[in-house]
Amino acid sequence: MDLLNISDESGPSRRPPIMLIGATSILGFNVVLRGGGDVYPVANPNNRLAADRGWERLEAANAAAVEALLARQRPDIVLYSDAVCDVSKCETNPQWARSINVEYLEILLASLAPTTRLVYVSSDHVFGGDGVYDETSAVAPISVYGETRVEAEERVFAHPGSLLIRVGLPVGRSLDGRTGHLDWLRYRQRRGLPMTIICDERRSAVWAEDAADRILALAKSNVIGCRHVVATESVLRPDLAAALLGHMGLSPCFEVAGRAQQPYPHLGEVELATVFDDALATPLEAVAAPGSANRI
């Protein structure tokens, strides 16, 4: 089966158990790649690449369309990985950010059957100050984007039987080959375009395919509440960029700047940790770990 195009091959006799809303995000795209026939991808109706692959397209603001899709597909699990993550755009248009990151989720929740499991993929942007944060840590966003994520999380926690998964920085293939940290670096470096990397930002950077595997495993489990996807170590962004470019055989060439120099709030040294010790809480390989070159 073509993992990127399930429209003609899933057939009426096999209903994929997981409906993925937000299939064009970095994590969503890798969930499609890793989940195969278990995943039914849903994307924005204006995304041409999603249309080319025959993915379901949904206007998330249309409550009737959302209700009809859920009634037709009857998914066992709805995996929600849809959000606008552009921090600067969210700062300049807070209502736009809230409509996409919060109100679209509310529309889905209003139509979700009580028997359908909701798994929501969130972000480390719900935290702000430098530190190490586990599932019991108080949220403290420093940006509009982070605030909308917190508000969305509140909706998820209020929905019985749901699971919220926070991921740091996923690094891996993107649908269009230009977005996400890995493809952004490759695209701009090969074209000689300027790049600025924040020198005082540290993240739990994990391979997107590993994060996708963990998300799928958690989604299929009976775990509820909140879980963090943690890395074996956190990494500063300049070190991460240099390592990735080196792995691609490209000479690192970028400017560095501090958070204080940015015109909008910028995430600092935020590391995800976990209070759990089961197999689904095992730290994933950090992207800049030794031997990670063969992952690109």
For residue 160, being part of any structural domain is answered with yes
CATH code at position 152: 3.40.50.720
pLDDT in tens, 90-107: 999 999 999 999 999 999
pLDDT in tens, 230-255: 999 999 999 999 999 988 888 888 99
Inform me whether the pLDDT recorded for 178 exceeds 90: no
DSSP strand pairing (235-236 vs 202-203): antiparallel
212 confidence band (pLDDT: 50, 70, 90): very high
For residue 215, being part of any structural domain is answered with yes
Query: Residue 159 burial (CB < 10 Å; 0-12/13-18/19+)?
Result: middle
Q: Give the model's pLDDT for residue 252.
A: 86
Domain span at residue 122? 18-172+205-233+270-282
291 confidence band (pLDDT: 50, 70, 90): low
**Residue with token string 């924005």:** 44
For residue 144, being part of any structural domain is answered with yes
147 or 128, greater pLDDT: 147
Backbone angles phi, psi at 271, to 5 degrees: -115, 130
Inform me whether the pLDDT recorded for 293 exceeds 90: no
For residue 113, being part of any structural domain is answered with yes
Radius of gyration of the chain (CA): 19
For residue 56, being part of any structural domain is answered with yes
Query: Average model confidence (pLDDT) for the chain?
Result: 92
Distances from the Cα of 287 to the Cαs of 42, 180, 200, in angstroms?
Answer: 28, 14, 18
9 confidence band (pLDDT: 50, 70, 90): very low
Inform me whether the pLDDT recorded for 10 exceeds 50: no
Angle, CA of 176, 178 and 182, to the nearest 5°? 120
Q: Give the model's pLDDT for residue 14.
A: 66
For residue 125, being part of any structural domain is answered with yes
DSSP-derived letter for residue 285 is P
Look at 4-13, 29-38, 59-68, 115-124 and tell me which has the smallest mean pLDDT. Answer: 4-13
DSSP-derived letter for residue 181 is H
The alpha carbon of residue 131 and the mean position of all alpha carbons in its chain are separated, in whole angstroms, by 21
SS3 of residue 198 by DSSP: strand
Inform me whether the pLDDT recorded for 8 exceeds 90: no
Backbone angles phi, psi at 104, to 5 degrees: -65, -40
Count of domains forming the chain: 1
Distances from the Cα of 61 to the Cαs of 18, 20, 82, 165, in angstroms?
Answer: 21, 16, 12, 23
For residue 122, being part of any structural domain is answered with yes
For residue 218, being part of any structural domain is answered with yes
